[in-house]
Structure 1
């Protein structure tokens, strides 16, 4: 790794950490950074998952009070999170490298669309309560939804937090902060299961993964102030524009 590659990976991970802390969608920056460094699409995706995992841990620690009252929910939803993540990880590793490279632009566009629709999804979630009628009730639809989210999260992952927040908002009678806390914990569990699976069976590039993990942690802590000055809306549009540019480049190369 030369100095330029190191700088690019650190910058991408730093930005991803800050973006995830404020608006979500950080993988749309860090994943292309790995592609630009010359890593194959599948290895870049696996390495990106490993690199960004520590950021979810920090968020869950910060949300300890909101998570304390949701212990039973977390215990019930851990199984579909883990099994879904294992299924998604296995699906990713069984996908031929060329095939995954071909569908990556579509996955990036899908994740960019989720960012674009984030406010609408959040509003819909808050006004259409379709699931639990009490704090202790976990509807069957949520188990199925979390399993599907975990499959997607382990397979690609960009936009997972947005989807999870919308599903929780629709199916649970919680305020935004408790839904956001549970979203972060489920993302932590899903990505932890994927990291263990990839560490055992996947093409993880450990040097850039560890380097980017440091960048993501720093970005989540130090970059939040900068990201907040931009505001979530402007930051989101910047990430969407960048993601669409990356998808276009991947389509034509």
Structure 2
């Protein structure tokens, strides 16, 4: 890896860390940057996950008080660990050709999640009364979202908040705290699966790890000053361009 490539990856990771701290969407920066640097998509996906996992841990530490009162934490944690392991395991066995074909759809899904996150969560909240309080259904939903999160991860947090809103699980603050902690578990077991399979590019991962940490610190400070709506629009615009680019690459 040349110095120029390393600097570019650090810069991309810095932006991703800042976005994750302010609005989310870091995967839509780190993954394409790694692909542009010449990594195969599967390696890029695994390396991106490794570089972003410490950010989830740091975020979860700020919600320790809310997590102490979160209901269904043990069962939701188990569902998340199992789903994340399945999703991460699928990445290690799926054929590169199939993964390449799925990438544009995954980026499209992640972008759509960010674009319509408020509408989706609001709609889920309005229909919460019609769902009931089925613990089994909630755990199955968490398991399904965790599989996606372990496999790719973009938009995973939005999916979880929408799921919790549908079941009227708790207050918004506690739902966000639960989402953050479960993201640690989902990404953590997926990362372990990637490391065990030997599909992580460690030089790139370490460079991006430093970038996401630095970006996360800067993003936390900027979050107090910049409107979240602007950041969301930036993420959606970036995701839309990447969706078109990857569709062209895969099917053009």
Q: Indicate whether the TM-score tops 0.5.
A: yes
Instruction: Decide which moves more: 178-187 or 165-174.
Output: 165-174
Query: Alignment partner of 2:199: what SS?
Result: coil
The alignment status of 1:198 with 2:194, answered yes or no, reads: yes
Q: Distance in 2 between matches of 1:46 and 1:127?
A: 37
In structure 1, the gaps of 5 or more residues are none
Conserved 8 A contact 2:125-2:168: no
Aligned to 2:102: 103
Conserved 8 A contact 2:22-2:222: no
Q: Distance in 1 between matches of 2:206 and 2:198?
A: 15
Where does 1:7-156 land on structure 2 (aligned, <5 Å)?
Answer: 7-70=7-70, 73-130=72-129, 139-156=135-152
**CA RMSD, Structure 1 to Structure 2 (Å):** 1.7
Conserved 8 A contact 1:122-1:166: yes
After superposition, what is the alpha-carbon deviation per residue over 1:177-212, rounded to whole angstroms, capped at 9, x for unaligned? Answer: 111000001101101111111111141011111221
Q: Distance in 2 between matches of 1:126 and 1:14?
A: 34
Q: Distance in 2 between matches of 1:93 and 1:151?
A: 13
Aligned counterpart for 1:174 among listed residues 170, 173, 186 = 170
Query: Alignment partner of 1:25: what SS?
Result: coil
CA drift of 1:225 comes to 3.1
In structure 2, the gaps of 5 or more residues are none
The alignment status of 1:2 with 2:2, answered yes or no, reads: yes
CA drift of 1:228 comes to 4.8
Query: Alignment partner of 2:38: what SS?
Result: coil
CA drift of 1:39 comes to 0.5
* TM-score, L = length of structure 1: 0.92
Instruction: Decide which moves more: 156-165 or 3-12.
Output: 3-12
How many residues align? The count is 248
CA drift of 1:47 comes to 0.6
Runs (4+) off by over 6 Å: none
Q: Distance in 2 between matches of 1:233 and 1:44?
A: 29
